Copies of this chain bind each other. A is one copy, B any other.
Amino acid sequence: MRATFMYGAGDVRVENVPDPTIQQPTDAIVRVVRSCVCGSDLHPFHTLPTQVAGLPMGHELLGVVEQVGSAVSTLAKGDFVISPFAFQDNTCVFCREGVQTSCVHGGWYGAGGVGGGQAEAVRVPQADGTLVTVPGEVDDALLPSLLTLSDVYLTGYHAAHMGKVDARTTVTVIGDGAVGLSAVLASRQLGAERIILMGRHVARTDLGREFGATDVVAERGAEGVAKVMELTGGEGSHVVLEAVGHMPAYEQAYGIVRPGGVISRVGVPQYESAPIGFGSLFGKNAALTGGPAPVRAYIEAALPDVLEGRIEPGKVFDRTIALSDIAEGYRLMDAREALKVIVTP
């Protein structure tokens, strides 16, 4: 089969590799129907040192079950499934507490002998715990939105959920990428009536407005902070959803968070240390939350909203690319010529 590998910064290749096979009785093999390129794939696309063996890429996928291991009991050949971007048994103590991305038997696509989702097929470990079946016939028009339940929409949802967004909270979303826009949509779903989107790409912020943003702030840094403070009457934002992962976005976040407010991060931090002392978080009792989204915890609840058309998070996809051309998909996203690229096999 064909699968995508990264050999270094800017070096994405589609190669022929052996088809995946069942290795553990808890595995399933899934033929990929749709996958996509993630904003987080752009981090190694910028910085990955040259590799001798390419890294398997991709962690968002819809597919059809082709084969299941002997211990898999809830799935059968032909099932149409959504895979979260991480696998998990969904039964361990951390899964039961809603932190499936910390599952004791869990892990990540593209690591530890598990392939990536930007491929024709993939081996899914802990298949019973990981895969969620979509019932009935699946309308092709729903594929983009269903695919967002694999990661991007529910990552935005995780940010809003951990930030305890509701009708009483002012929300500011930092970042007009696909996760940021998803965080806008999720905040609206959770009842937020005032949603400020910080971003400066008009096509994206227009989609943000369609998703529910009430205000758009194009300024960045100190100017952006001043603008949000002005919009909030000098008080700051109850909830700040940080969907970028770079230090300037975090600095904006603690600049605009209100006393007693919360910063919820879902952009993978490209830093380890950052200000959290008296002058940033502590002095105003601001909280910090977030992490890799345990999307498995949220898929079942979001699925009816997608299937019945109440939300259309798949609008974040603005370009379709064939798997064989995926390197062009990376380029388009890196150049911001595409917001998010959906990949057909």
Query: Which of A's residues lie within 8 Å of B, judged by CB?
Result: 93-94, 97-99, 101-102, 162, 235, 258-260, 265, 268-269, 271-292, 294
Contact = CB atoms under 8 A, between A and B. Distances in A.
Contact of A291 (B269, B275, B283, B291): B283
A94 B280 CA distance: 17
30 contacts: A93-B235, A94-B259, A97-B259, A97-B260, A99-B260, A99-B284, A99-B285, A101-B259, A102-B260, A102-B285, A162-B287, A265-B282, A268-B282, A269-B277, A272-B275, A272-B276, A272-B278, A272-B279, A273-B275, A273-B277, A274-B274, A274-B277, A276-B276, A276-B288, A282-B292, A283-B291, A285-B290, A285-B294, A287-B290, A288-B288
A135 to B, nearest CB: 30
Contacts of A269: 276-278, 282
Contact of A282 (B279, B283, B290): B290
How many copies are assembled?
Answer: 2
A114 to B, nearest CB: 18
A102 B278 CA distance: 12
Nearest to A279: B272
Given A94-B235, A285-B292, 15 more contacts: A99-B259, A99-B285, A101-B285, A102-B259, A162-B287, A269-B278, A271-B277, A273-B274, A274-B276, A274-B277, A276-B276, A282-B291, A283-B292, A287-B289, A288-B289
A195 to B, nearest CB: 19
A281 B279 CA distance: 20
A41 B276 CA distance: 21
Given A99-B259, A260-B99, A260-B102, A288 B277 contact: no
A288 B291 contact: no
Nearest to A287: B289
Nearest to A234: B104
Which of A102, A268, A292 has the most B CB atoms < 10 Å from its CB?
A102
Contacts of A286: 291
Nearest to A284: B102
A281 B286 CA distance: 15
A258 B162 CA distance: 16
A338 B252 CA distance: 43
A259 B292 CA distance: 11
Nearest to A294: B285
A181 B329 CA distance: 57
